[in-house]
Structures are given as C-alpha cells and as structure tokens.
Structure 1
Amino acid sequence: MIAFGGNLYSVPARKVRPRQLIEIRATKSQVMLHSTGPDIDGGTLLATHARAIGRGARVVDHTHWDGLPTGRGRRTTTGEVSRTRPEPPRGDTGPLQALVDRAAATNVEVGRRPLSVYDELTGTRPFTTNRTTKESP
C-alpha cells in the first residue's frame, strides 16, 4: 500500500519490495504509481487508481494481492515482521481486509523537506514581506 494525500493505494505485490521508492503521478481524478526503475519489459507503471475523495480511504485492486500469503497453513511473510501483536480480526472482515488491517502501511513515515526545495524546482522565489521604500530607476 502506498500512502498519498491521506489515503492508501494498492500496488501489485509481485512487482514491489519493502521500502522500494515509488513515484506518484496524480491528477484531479487519477493516481498513477510508477517504479523508479524499469521492469523486465522496460515499463515503470505499477498501478492506476481513481483518486479517492477525502482522507482515510483505501483504494484496492484485489488482483494486486496475488502472491501474498493467504493466512492458511504455514505462516509466511513477504517483508519485515512487526514486533507488536496484531489486533484480532473483527468478525465481519474477510482475509483480505485482515491482511490490510495488519499491514504496516498505516505507520508510513512521510519525508519532510523545506518549502524552498519546491521554489528551487519550479524556479520561483518566495514572497517577501520586506519592501524597499525607494523605487529603482
């Protein structure tokens, strides 16, 4: 699951690995998730989703879960194991929802950078409150 705009979006389990960098290209109506390097076929597109409205939504393509452990039989993991005990599943959820609920995607650490980085990228300068009293000729 990829966190973007306060929502979670699924990516194919077989095409990503833990802590992999994902490039997000978003429009008003769509979120496109790309890997930072091409796959065997030379493509980078991992998934396309309709953009969620509001915050706290989980946008999941159920085919993205192919290859993940089902929870039946011997336990298997595909990444780091949390040292905290997972909450017991609620009675009204299925195995997919239980897997999503246990996922560490809700604890994603978001990178922070100063706004000046965006000014540099766009070639704009920040607004200043200091105005000179003399006009230049």
Structure 2
Amino acid sequence: MALRPLPETPYLVAQRRLRHVGKDCLVAFDVNLYSVPARKVRPRQLIEIRATKSQVALHSATSGSDGDTFLAVHPRAGGRDPRVVEEEHWDGLPTGAGRRTTTGDGPPRRDTAEAGPLQALLNRAAATRVEVGRCPLSVYDELTGTRPFSTNSHAKNAR
C-alpha cells in the first residue's frame, strides 16, 4: 500500500562506452564488431556506444553540421567475435579489387603453392620486387680505400 505503482514505460538501462572507429569502419564493443557508415566517419574517430539488452546504437562523439550525432543502430550480437555489418555502410571504402601494393611493374609473382609459408610471405612482400643494382665488391673496396684481409695502405700513409 505504501509503494507507488510502476510507471507505464519501463526504465531503459543502457551501457555507454567510448570507442574508436577502425579503418574498416567497424567499432568494437563487448568482443563484437559493429559497422558505422564510412561516409560519416573517419578512422580513429571517437564514437559513443549506447547498448541496451537488445540493441547497440552508435553515435558520433561530436555533432555534425546538422547537429545530429546518430550514426547507426544494430541488434546486439550474441556470442563472441561476430561482425554485425550493414553492407551499405561500406559504400565509399576501397573494395580491395585491383588495389596495388607497390608502384611500378615488377617481375611476375612466383607460385606460392609449392614454396611453403615462408616463401609465400616473401613473395607477397613489396621489397622482394624492388630492382637492385649489382656491382662487384671491388668497386666498394676502391670507394672506401680498403681491401679485404689486407691493411689499408692509404690510412697508414695518412698517419
């Protein structure tokens, strides 16, 4: 009798966290990843997460030109390490198709199927495709005034 009746609308309990946006426009929360629109954010931008039991709302920490901070809302993911992504959020990001890893044309890539994991890693590295000039070691000896396994006659004469 001494207690008041419960309110018509239940009290909404929400967790609030600040996180940074990744290069892939994903924000990590509670070991899950949630997408934000690529055209509205930049990498490392601070995002406020407002998570309830059933959904995750993502807001920019600073308001935009229109004063709105809302970016996206997703159903809260169950389990560990899933990605909750809306494909249209990635509009404007590079697809990866046709992206070059080096400038200029290098020699053709070697087949990595038979070479093993170390060779496959080396084949992917851009440094392996850089053309390097080659000359005999005697050229370096002449430039520095040294000869291998011999004394430096120029240095002795200078003393």
For normalisation by structure 2, the TM-score amounts to: 0.45
| Greater Cα radius of gyration, structure 1 or 2 | 2
1:55 to partner: Cα distance:
1.3
Q: Which secondary structure does the structure 1 equivalent of 2:97 belong to?
A: coil
For structure 1, list consecutive stretches of 5 or more residues without a partner in the other structure: 77-137
Verify: 1:36 aligned to 2:61, yes or no. Answer: yes
Distance 2:81 2:99 in 1: 32
**Alignment deviations for residues 102-126 of structure 1 (CA, whole Å, 9 cap, x no partner):** xxxxxxxxxxxxxxxxxxxxxxxxx
User: Which of 17, 20, 40 is the matching residue for 1:15?
Assistant: 40
For structure 2, list consecutive stretches of 5 or more residues without a partner in the other structure: 1-25, 102-159
Verify: 1:64 aligned to 2:89, yes or no. Answer: yes
| Structure having greater relative contact order (Cα 8 Å, sep ≥ 6) | 1
User: Which of 27, 34, 50 is the matching residue for 1:25?
Assistant: 50
1:75 to partner: Cα distance:
4.3
Structure 1 residues 75 and 48: alpha-carbon distance in aligned structure 2, compared to 1, 3 A threshold: farther
Overall identity of the aligned pairs, in %? 72
Size of the aligned set, in residue pairs, is 76
Poorly superposed stretches of 4+, deviation over 4 Å: none
RMSD: 1.5
1:44 to partner: Cα distance:
0.3
1:35 to partner: Cα distance:
0.3
For normalisation by structure 1, the TM-score amounts to: 0.52
Q: Which secondary structure does the structure 2 equivalent of 1:72 belong to?
A: coil
